[in-house]
Amino acid sequence: MEIIGYADDRDATMLPAVVPPVFRLKADSDVVLLPPYSLHFDAVVRATAVTMEEAEHLRLMEQITLFPAGGQPAEPGHQMWLHRDGRRVYQPVHEARRTLDQLSAEAIERAILQLAKGQLDLAEDSASEAILSNDRRVEPLAIKAAIRRRRGLAAEARLMGEIARPLIESGAFVNLVNYYTRLITAIEPVRPVLKSLSPMDAIATIPARAARA
């Protein structure tokens, strides 16, 4: 068999992502195998078989993506996934998982730095990227919950906790959300201090916490 595409059509906001390959038989190039299916070594089991013409129709309907330059050999124990920039990778499953987990960790680090700078939209995007890379990590869910809490979206913050429940005890998740929330609230707006003949004239413009420091 060879791989001629994948059964998905994603824009940049839904990447990175693992995608199921679309296979074609080498012995009969008009037989295309689509998911859902099971992979057993070098065999594709219980796939949906369509013709190449039908596959082209599905491509036009944006239900699958076909490679413009033809196929590539299928390998047992491999996984296909797409980078954030759309580049596709086909590698052994354990390597793919390790790479995606590393990308998730890097996205979480970016999100934390962005939280600390008050860049909530960027932090939200980074947290989404972390989840897409590895949906078993709880940190990006907690970051999203902290952002929603900060924005007064209590119901949406609780939803993140519901999603995280299979992965972490609820009290531990709340502690994590509290930590990320403190990163956001630690940001104080810079207030201009007007020049004055008396050093006491502008003292009211300085936040009390800053005045005590």
pLDDT at 187: 64
More confident residue, 186 or 156: 156
What is the per-residue pLDDT across 76-119, written as a single tens digit (0 to 9) for each?
Answer: 999 999 999 999 999 999 999 999 999 999 999 999 999 999 99
Give the pLDDT confidence of 131-155 residue by residue, as tens digits: 999 999 999 999 999 999 999 999 9
Task: Compute the average pLDDT of residues 185-210.
Answer: 43
Residue 195, pLDDT score = 42
Please give the Cα distance from 18 to 134 (Å, whole number).
10
Query: Is 116 within 8 Å of 186 (Cβ atoms)?
Result: yes
DSSP the chain: -EEEEES----GGG-SEE-PEEEE-SS-TTEEEESS-EEETTEEESPEEEEHHHHHHHHHTTSSEE-TT--EE--TTEEEEE-TTS-EEEEEHHHHHHHHHHHHHHHHHHHHHHHHTT-HHHHHHHHHHHHHH-TT-SHHHHHHHHHHHHTT-HHHHHHHHHHHTTTS-HHHHHHHHHHHHHHHHT----------SSTTTTGGGS-HHHHH-
pTM given for the model: 0.81
**Virtual torsion, Cα 59, 64, 69, 72, nearest 10 deg:** -150
- Does position 18 have pLDDT exceeding 60, yes or no? yes
